Chains A and B, each alone.
Chain A
Amino acid sequence: MTIARVTPVDRLTEGDESLLLYEHQVIRLGLIGTVIFDATAQPITLAALSALLDDVIGSPVTGTILESTAAAVEQLQAQGVLRVSADPDL
Chain B
Amino acid sequence: MDRLRVSGLGVGVELQLSGSRSGDLGGLLRSAWARCLDRPAELEADPITLSLETPAGASEPASPRGSAQIWTNDADSLMVMATQAVTAALIKAQAGRLLMFHAGALSHPDTGASVVFVAPGGTGKTTLARRLGHRYGYLTDETVGIDPAGRILPYPKPLSLRTEGAAYKREFSPDDLGLLPAHPNPFVARIIMIERSDLHQDDPVVEELPLLTAISGLAPESSSLSSLDRGLHRCADLIEATGPVLRVRYSEADGLLGLMSELVGGSPGTASVRTAEER
Contact = CB atoms under 8 A, between A and B. Distances in A.
Interface of A: 9-12, 14, 17, 19, 21-26, 28
Given A9-B231, A21-B219, A26-B225, 16 more contacts: A10-B226, A10-B231, A11-B232, A12-B212, A12-B236, A14-B212, A19-B212, A21-B225, A21-B232, A24-B226, A25-B219, A26-B216, A26-B219, A26-B220, A26-B232, A28-B212
A64 to B, nearest CB: 30
A24 B228 CA distance: 13
B219 A10 contact: no
Most chain B CB within 10 A, of A21, A24, A25, is at A21
Contacts of A21: 219, 225-226, 231-232
B209 interface: no
Given A14-B212, A26-B216, A28-B216, A19 B232 contact: yes
A14 B233 CA distance: 12
Interface in B197-249: 210-212, 215-216, 219-220, 225-226, 230-233, 235-236
A15 B220 CA distance: 23
Contacts, number: 39
A87 to B, nearest CB: 28
Contact of B215 (A12, A23, A24): A12
Nearest to B215: A19
Most chain A CB within 10 A, of B210, B232, B235, is at B232
Interface string B106-138: 000000000000000000000000000000000
Interface of B: 210-212, 215-216, 219-220, 225-226, 230-233, 235-236
A13 to B, nearest CB: 9
Contacts of B235: 12
A46 to B, nearest CB: 28
9 contacts: A12-B212, A12-B235, A12-B236, A14-B212, A21-B231, A21-B232, A26-B220, A26-B225, A28-B212
B3 to A, nearest CB: 36
B212 A17 contact: yes
A12 B226 contact: no
B229 to A, nearest CB: 8
A22 B230 CA distance: 11
Contacts of B211: 14
A34 B72 CA distance: 52
Q: Please give me the 5 A-B residue pairs with the lowest Cβ-Cβ distance, nearest first.
A: A26-B219, A12-B232, A10-B232, A9-B226, A23-B226
Contacts of B236: 12
Contacts of A23: 226
A22 B232 contact: no
Contacts of B231: 9-10, 21
B251 to A, nearest CB: 29
B215 A26 contact: yes
Nearest to A18: B212
Given A21-B226, A23-B226, A26-B219, A10 B212 contact: no
Contacts of A28: 212, 216
Contacts of B215: 12, 19, 26
